[in-house]
Amino acid sequence: MSNLTLFHSNGGVPDRLPKSTTRALQQVRRTALVTAARVEAAAFVTHIGLQEIEMLSMQEALLAQRCPHAVVRAQALVDQFTATTVTEVARMRCRS
C-alpha cells in the first residue's frame, strides 16, 4: 500500500481533512504569502538602494579626481543618502 496523500487544487489541501483544519491551513498559507511579499519588497528596496549608493559613490570618486576641494561635500551627500536608504529599509521592517 502506498503512503501517498492525494492533493487537489483547493490550495494543496487533501479532501479528507476536517473543514476547520482546511481553513487553518489556508490561513497559514495566506500568512506565508503576505510574509513572502514583505520579504521580497524589502529585498527589492535594498537592491535599489545599493545600486544607487554604488552609482553615487562612483560619481563621488570622479568628482574627487576633477575637483578635490569638493570631496567633503560629496561624501556628506552620499553618506546622507546612505543613511536615508538604511532608514527606509528599517521602516519596512517596522510596518510589517
Burial class (CB within 10 angstroms; exposed 0-12, middle 13-18, buried 19+) of 82: middle
Residue 79 has pLDDT above 70, yes or no: yes
Radius of gyration of the chain (CA): 24
Query: For the whole model, what pTM was predicted?
Result: 0.69
The string of pLDDT tens digits covering residues 40-72 is 999 999 999 999 999 999 999 999 999 999 999
Residue 18's pLDDT band (cuts 50, 70, 90):
confident
Q: What are the residue ranges spanned by the domains of the chain?
A: 19-95
Which residues have C-beta within 8 Å of that of residue 26, sequence separation ≥ 6?
11, 13
CA nearest 26: which of 39, 38, 4, 10? 10
Higher pLDDT, 17 or 69: 69
Higher pLDDT, 46 or 95: 46
